[in-house]
A and B are shown apart, each in its own frame.
Chain A
Amino acid sequence: MNQGVVLIARNNTEIDYIKQAIFLAKRVRKYLDLPTSLVTDNVDYLYNTYKNSVDVFDKIIQVDNDKKYSYKKYYDGIFAKKQLEFKNSNRSSVYDLSPYDETLLLDTDFVVSNDILNECFVQQKDLLLYKDAFDLSGWRDKNEFTFISEIGPTFYWATCIFFRKTELNKTFFDLVSHIQEYYPHYRNLYKLNTNVFRNDHAFSIAIHIMNGYTNNNFAGTMPGTMYYCTDKDVLIDLKDDNFLFLIQKRNESNEYTPLRIKGSNVHVINKYSLNRIIDNG
């Protein structure tokens, strides 16, 4: 069984996801000792801008720029935000795109800092996702990350997914594609309160359906904890596995509190701050 990590990077007008993918692939090699393949719609940009880093990838997989994207606000801490394209339509295709029998699919802003994800590959479950995650602020309302809506099933994070290529998982990913295609219908059915397509929601709905429309254990739980901060928080320093964040303060619109965390995997949703850290690294 060959094993590896797959990253999807599709740049928008401001956020360089390909840069993040190179950064993450180096960390995957360091902490997990696994090969990384890149799925991107802009291979030319990769070779033109990062020609000395291309060899960090095991395989580079070109996908079409399908123009199927929505727009959402990207914050850079409390004070700055921009409305940008959100190109997240390829996740359900990863089953077919992945060159590996056993794949760990990661968001490019998921900063790997330990080896616990290697334990996915020895687990009996063929599909693993996080359904709980640890908010570094400690005070934010986590309801939107507990259930997908007020009537909805359990929320699963599509940030980090482990899967084996099995017939059942093929059915599962095909179902996610179907949900994506008919998203307005499923958005109404599950009373989702957002117009923006979210992979978290599509995967959560698919798991709910595969579970027989109940909460069951079709998907197992990823090992360890996924820590996250939102894009209202700012990553200000990262040396190896040692992060320093400014976390938005409770009941304050314009203040932060510092927080240091070492040796844990963190989903850094503020892409601007992550890219600054990569640039200064």
Chain B
Amino acid sequence: MDERLEKALDFSNYMITLDNTKRVLKEQYQDDLLYFCNGGQFTVNPGLVSFCQSLLALGQEETVLIDDNDIPIQVEDLKVFASEMVNVYSKAANKYITEYNKLKTNRTVKGIIEV
């Protein structure tokens, strides 16, 4: 095979593997953002965290939130809820960046799958 084509195909294979692995990491990050409370499931996002912080700033200690399945959930201790959501977010985001950075330093297919 022409050396130029061979090099390009090596890079092509690397890109496919890298792209697939990044897709999986992103989806796993979404899974890691799930927070379960009082029979409800919440996907933690900056909007939800900010909203809870706003309610706390307004002096509210409890509230009702609509979960991922459209079920209203009574949150009895908003402070704990908000704090735990921040923990879930931090843990998920830190795991994501750690795994992502490992990928960045690998420039071969073998390197990616051995991460």
Q: Which residues of A contact B (CB under 8 A)?
A: 116, 119, 122-125, 134, 136-138, 217, 220-221, 223-225, 227, 244, 247, 249-250, 257-261, 263-264
* With A138-B19, A257-B13, A261-B24 as contacts: A123 and B31 at CB distance below 8 Å: no
Residues A244 and B113 in contact, CB atoms below 8 Å apart? yes
Cβ proximity bits B59-92 to A, threshold 8 Å, 1 near / 0 not: 0000000001111000000000000000000000
Q: Is the CB of B115 within 8 A of A122?
A: no
Given A124-B71, A217-B69, A260-B115, is A116 in contact with B109 using a C-beta cutoff of 8 Å? no
Which residues, 1 to 40 on B, are CB-close (under 8 Å) to A? Answer: 13, 16-17, 19-21, 23-24, 27-28, 30-31, 34, 36, 39-40
Once A257-B16, A259-B17 are accepted as A-B contacts, the answer to whether A123 and B69 lie under 8 Å apart by CB is yes
Partner of A258, one of B39, B68, B113: B113
Q: Is there contact, CB below 8 Å, between B28 and A223?
A: no
Beta-carbon contact of A136 and B24 below 8 Å: yes
Interface residues of chain B: helix, strand, loop or mixed (majority): helix
Q: Which residues of A contact B27 (CB under 8 A)?
A: 134, 225, 227
Task: State which size class the interface on B falls in.
Answer: 20 to 34
Number of A-B contacts (CB under 8 A): 70
Which chain B residue lies CB-closest to A134?
B27
Q: Which chain A residues lie closer than 8 Å to B19 at the CB level?
A: 138
Residue of A nearest to B16 (CB): A257
Q: Write the nearest CB–CB distance from A39 to chain B, whole angstroms.
A: 29
B34 touches A116 (CB 8 A): yes
Known: A220-B69, A221-B69, A264-B28. 12 other contacts (CB 8 A): A116-B34, A119-B34, A123-B36, A123-B39, A123-B40, A123-B69, A124-B39, A124-B69, A138-B19, A221-B68, A247-B20, A258-B109
Q: A258-B17, A259-B20 are in contact. Are A225 and B39 (CB under 8 A)?
A: no
Chain B residues in the interface with A (C-beta under 8 A):
13, 16-17, 19-21, 23-24, 27-28, 30-31, 34, 36, 39-41, 68-71, 109, 112-115
Given contacts A247-B20, A264-B28, are A122 and B69 in contact (CB under 8 A)? no
Q: Chain B contacts of A125 at CB under 8 A? A: 69, 71
In the assembled complex, the CB of A215 is this many whole angstroms from the nearest CB of chain B, namely 13
* Contacts known (A116-B31, A225-B30, A258-B109); A124 close to B40, Cβ less than 8 A: yes
Query: Nearest Cβ in chain A — how far from B74, in angstroms?
Result: 11
Closest Cβ–Cβ distance, residue B37 to chain A (whole Å): 9
Chain A residue with Cβ nearest B23: A138
A23 to chain B, nearest CB (A): 23
Residues of A contacting B21 with CB < 8 Å?
A: 259-260
CB of A131 to closest CB in B, whole Å? 12
Which of B20, B34, B39 gathers the greatest number of chain A CB atoms within 10 Å? B20
* Chain A residues in 8 Å Cβ range of B28: 225, 261, 263-264
Contacts of A116 in B (CB 8 A): 31, 34
